[in-house]
Structure formats: structure tokens, C-alpha cells
Amino acid sequence: MKYTAQRGTRDILPSEIGVWHAIEKSARRTFELFDYKEIRTPIFEQTDLFSRSIGSSTDIVSKEMYTFLDRKGRSLTLRPEETAPVVRAAIEHGLIVKENVVKLYYLGPMFRYERPQAGRQRQFHQAGVEAFGSADPMLDVEVISLAGQLFDRLGLKELEIDVNSVGCAACRPGYIEKLKDYFKQNLNNMCDDCRKRFEANPLRILDCKEAVCQKYIEKAPSTGDSLCPECRDHFERVIKGLELSGIKYRVNHRLVRGLDYYTRTTFEVISRQLGAQNAVCGGGRYDTLVEELGGGPTPAIGFAIGLERLVEIVKNVLPSGEKGIELFVAALGDEAKKIAFQIVSKARKAGVSADLDYAGRGLKAQMKAADRAGAGNALIIGDNEIKNGRYLLKDMKTAAQKEVTETELIALFSLL
Ligand code: HAM
């Protein structure tokens, strides 16, 4: 094969698209129920937007970005995530209005140069939301319950929600110091990556999946013990709100997430049906990012769902969704083909999906084509049928046949 899809990218084929459509439809419907409005931003942005917001020592920025120079020598990057572009757009277009909560949602492809494996691609898709303008813990609860409601709508029951608070600019530095003091003693026994993380971004050590590091990570100081009174109060109120809303959750003090902009609440939705890459959704607060990127002080929170991972678990629950056409017209002879073409055109205009065979083949081949098209009905037109003005309509599921005139056919499918 001369050309193939690039490593870490995938074609989504017609046989799979039904599940994607179902997920996208449910996502839009759920986001809109919670009053989110769709925003679409460009696929590439100025590189600096991502390095500043996600953090230059994170894995995403330090090794996973698709960065290139354009013809004028400007550094651009294919978006590895959508929070920073949405913040950029919200500031640029004055969407953030004081004292209002502004709610935006998006669906689209993201790009990260990661080592491809199950659940991890270089081009993948996210559906996500961002809510700007309130630090109220009940907004955190609403955002988490929105994710929960979408998964419920898709019939998923086996999901787990982990929540944590990573504190704020006042209490996080103290926590990082505590972590460094703790890991310093064991660093020699830990993996190479963790030794690097220790220097650049010690919080990231908590995310390490290497077995050698696990026993040290398990006993590491907990974020929960280092929160300042304001962050502790905020987190307690989030937890109370989750209880009140009947949302099942688990506090996971190791949940620090891989992007630097988070403050206070972080959360992930995990599926046991996925392998090592088991997070279907990740999000949290980022109360200082809008201001860091040039806007006014604006607390904010959001999440993004990985659609490939969601498809993986939803496809066991939803039917494949590949839709067949409603009517296939098989025509034998030139005269019949003309009539077939007219009937198909009328059907389509009336909103009935229809097709015909252009190859001028025999009846058997045309019925095979009708089968392949997943047709609900086949209409057969030959010389005899034209003479009598009655065509043969075959129900492809039951194989029942009846003769119909064009008028009857039209009434049957309400073609007019
Ligand atoms: P994230 O945790 O980097 O957060 O990504 C969110 C979700 O995208 C993950 O839980 C996973 O399902 C999916 N995902 C990430 N990388 C890949 C990959 N290489 N292949 C397949 N799926 C992947 C964010 O992107 C934040 N912007 C979320 C957010 C929004 N936080 C606040 N607002």
C-alpha cells in the first residue's frame, strides 16, 4: 500500500460512524440542556498560547506538541487541547461578561505527539465544556453532574468519578515543598522520568504509572492535608453538593492532572472497561488562567471527554447505528432506468432516502446492491411493469412482495 493513515491517526469508517453520531448528538443535547453554547476555534494557534497556559514543563508542552513555523517564521501549534483556545477566543471577543456565567462547549480533533497505544492517539477527538465567571462550588457540582448525565444518557453505568482539590497559589507551593522533601529520600530508586519530574514539576510524579514508583507514590503526602482554609472550605462544599445531588464519587488525593492551569477542584471519570488509558473525561477549575492570558480576573471550570475512549465503551451498549436507505429501485432496461431515476428523485425530494443501480446490471446483481445498501424496500421496474403501470415492491426484511402503482408507492412513502 502506497499511502496509509499516519501512525496514531485513524479513519472513522461508515460502519463506525453511527456510534459517533449518537455520541455527538447526546453531547450537544446534554450541553444545551445545561445552557452551554457551541464555540468553534481554529485547529492551530500561536505556540505560546499553549506553553503559557498548559505549562512548559508538562509532558504536553515539552514533548507532545505538533509545532511548526509558517512561511513567515511564526511558531504555530496544532491544538493539543481546547481550554486555552476557548479562553483566548472568549477574551478576544469579549464573551466574558462580569457577574454572568458564560458557558461554552466544543467538539473537535486535538493533536498530541504521544506513543500510540489502545486509547491513545496522535489525532483524537474531544467534546468539552468551559464555564466562566463563578467560583461557586455548586458550579463545580453542576459541571461534574453534566458529565454524569451525558454518560447516563448513553447508558453507561460502570463509570467512576474521582475528585480532588489541588489548592491555589497560596497553598500549592507548600504542598510541592512537602512532596519534594518526601521524594528526595527515595529518588534513587525511582524511574528516570520521575527523577526529571522531581526537578521540573514534582506534582507530575503522582501520575507516574511505573511499578517501581508506585510504592513511594502511595505513601506520598496528600494534597488534602495541605489545603489552605479557603480551598478546604471550597472542596468540602463541592463534596457536600455532590452528596446532595446523589452523584457517586471517590476522593482521590493523588489526582493532580497533567496540565498546570488547574486550581482547586480536579476530577476524572474512569472506566474499568478501558485498559491503562482509562480516563474518559478529565477536568477541573482554572481560576487564574483567564487573567494570565490577558483577561480580567475570572474563575472558570470545565472538562473534556475523549471521544475515541467513549466510543470504545459505548459501542458495546449502542447498536452500530449504520443506517440503510429506505428505498432501492432496481430497473431492467433503458426505459425502466428513466422511470427509476424519476422515482428516486421524487423520493429524495420528499425526504425518503433512495438509490438506484447505475451499472445496468441484471436483477440478481441489483438486488444484491439493494442488500448492501441496507435498503428497507426494493422497487422492481421491468418492461412488463411499465406496460401494466404496476411495479413490484419487495420488503427486504420479510421478502413480502406486492404490486403498486406509482401513486400507491408515493402514498406509501408519503413521497409528496
Ligand atoms: P486531558 O486530561 O488532557 O484534559 O484530556 C481530556 C481527555 O481527552 C482524557 O481524559 C482522554 O479521554 C482524552 N485524551 C487525552 N489525550 C488523548 C490521546 N492522546 N488519545 C486519545 N484520547 C486522549 C484536557 O484536555 C483539558 N483541556 C480538559 C479541561 C477542560 N479542563 C478544563 N477544561
Are 293 and 306 within 8 A, CB to CB? no
My answer on whether 289 and 361 are in the same domain is: no
My answer on whether 297 and 402 are in the same domain is: no
Residue 316, pLDDT score? 81
| Predicted confidence (pLDDT) at residue 308 exceeds the cutoff of 80 | yes
Residue 283 beta carbon below 6 angstroms from any ligand 1 atom = yes
Q: 5 CB contacts (<8 Å, ≥6 apart)? A: 11
Q: Which residue has the cell 447505475?
A: 358
My answer on whether 102 and 64 are in the same domain is: yes
Q: Is residue 179 part of a domain?
A: no
Q: Which residue has the cell 501520575?
A: 207
Q: Whose CA is nearest to atom 21 of ligand 1?
A: 120
Q: For the chain, give the percent of residues with pLDDT over 90.
A: 86
Mean pLDDT for the stretch of residues 277-281: 94
* Average pLDDT along the chain: 94
Q: Whose CA is nearest to atom 33 of ligand 1?
A: 302
Q: For the chain, give the percent of residues with pLDDT over 70.
A: 99
My answer on whether 105 and 134 are in the same domain is: yes
Residue 55 beta carbon below 6 angstroms from any ligand 1 atom = no
Q: Is residue 9 part of a domain?
A: no
| Predicted confidence (pLDDT) at residue 269 exceeds the cutoff of 60 | yes
Residue 415, pLDDT score? 56
User: Of 314, 346, 374, which residue sits at a domain end?
Assistant: 314
Q: 221 CB contacts (<8 Å, ≥6 apart)? A: 175, 178, 179, 182
Mean pLDDT for the stretch of residues 49-58: 95
Q: Which helix (H) or strand (E) holds 346?
A: helix 334-349
Residue 312 beta carbon below 6 angstroms from any ligand 1 atom = no
My answer on whether 260 and 362 are in the same domain is: no
Residue 58 beta carbon below 6 angstroms from any ligand 1 atom = no
Angle at 96 between CA 102 and CA 233, to 5 degrees: 65
My answer on whether 294 and 349 are in the same domain is: no
| Predicted confidence (pLDDT) at residue 333 exceeds the cutoff of 70 | yes
Q: What is the pTM of this model?
A: 0.92
My answer on whether 254 and 386 are in the same domain is: no
My answer on whether 238 and 102 are in the same domain is: yes
Domain that holds residue 361: 327-412
Are 66 and 94 within 8 A, CB to CB? no
Over residues 128-179, the pLDDT tens digits come to: 999 999 999 999 999 999 999 999 999 998 899 999 999 999 999 999 999 9
| Nearest atom, ligand 1, residue 305 CA | 7
State the DSSP string of 131-192: EES---HHHHHHHHHHHHHHHHHTT--SEEEEEEE---TTTHHHHHHHHHHHHHTTGGGS-H
Report the range out of 15-24, 136-145, 348-357, 407-416 with the highest average pLDDT: 136-145
Q: 28 CB contacts (<8 Å, ≥6 apart)? A: 38, 105, 107
| Predicted confidence (pLDDT) at residue 33 exceeds the cutoff of 70 | yes
My answer on whether 25 and 143 are in the same domain is: yes
User: Of 314, 336, 351, which residue sits at a domain end?
Assistant: 314
Cα–Cα dist 396/385, whole Å: 19
Q: Whose CA is nearest to atom 31 of ligand 1?
A: 283
CA-based R_g, the chain, Å: 28
Q: Whose CA is nearest to atom 4 of ligand 1?
A: 282
Residue 321, pLDDT score? 60
Q: 166 CB contacts (<8 Å, ≥6 apart)? A: 172, 203, 223, 256, 257, 262, 263, 264, 266, 284
| Predicted confidence (pLDDT) at residue 416 exceeds the cutoff of 60 | no
Domain harbouring 346, CATH code: 3.40.50.800
User: Of 260, 285, 314, which residue sits at a domain end?
Assistant: 314
| Predicted confidence (pLDDT) at residue 99 exceeds the cutoff of 90 | no
Number of domains in the chain: 2
Mean pLDDT for the stretch of residues 324-343: 94
Distance, CA 182 to ligand 1 centroid (Å)? 29
Q: Which residue has the cell 451525558?
A: 150
Q: With 0-12 CB in 10 A as exposed, 13-18 as middle and 19+ as buried, what is 100? A: exposed
Mean pLDDT for the stretch of residues 210-229: 93
Q: Output the CA–CA distances (angstroms, integers) from residue 345 to 333, 353, 385, in the order listed.
A: 18, 10, 19
My answer on whether 279 and 332 are in the same domain is: no
Q: Is residue 195 part of a domain?
A: no
Q: Residue 191: what residue type?
A: C
My answer on whether 335 and 286 are in the same domain is: no
Domain harbouring 96, CATH code: 3.30.930.10
| Nearest atom, ligand 1, residue 286 CA | 32
Residue 112, pLDDT score? 98
Q: Is residue 154 part of a domain?
A: yes
Q: Which of 410, 406, 373, 377 is nearest to 393 (CA)?
A: 377
Q: Output the CA–CA distances (angstroms, integers) from residue 161 to 32, 138, 253, 258, in the order listed.
A: 22, 17, 13, 17
Distance, CA 288 to ligand 1 centroid (Å)? 20
My answer on whether 30 and 149 are in the same domain is: yes
Cα–Cα dist 67/78, whole Å: 7
Cell numbers that stand for 387 in this block: 406496460
Distance, CA 257 to ligand 1 centroid (Å)? 10
Q: Is residue 4 part of a domain?
A: no
Q: Which of 259, 289, 305, 307 to mutate to test the pocket of ligand 1 (most atoms within 8 A of CB)?
A: 259
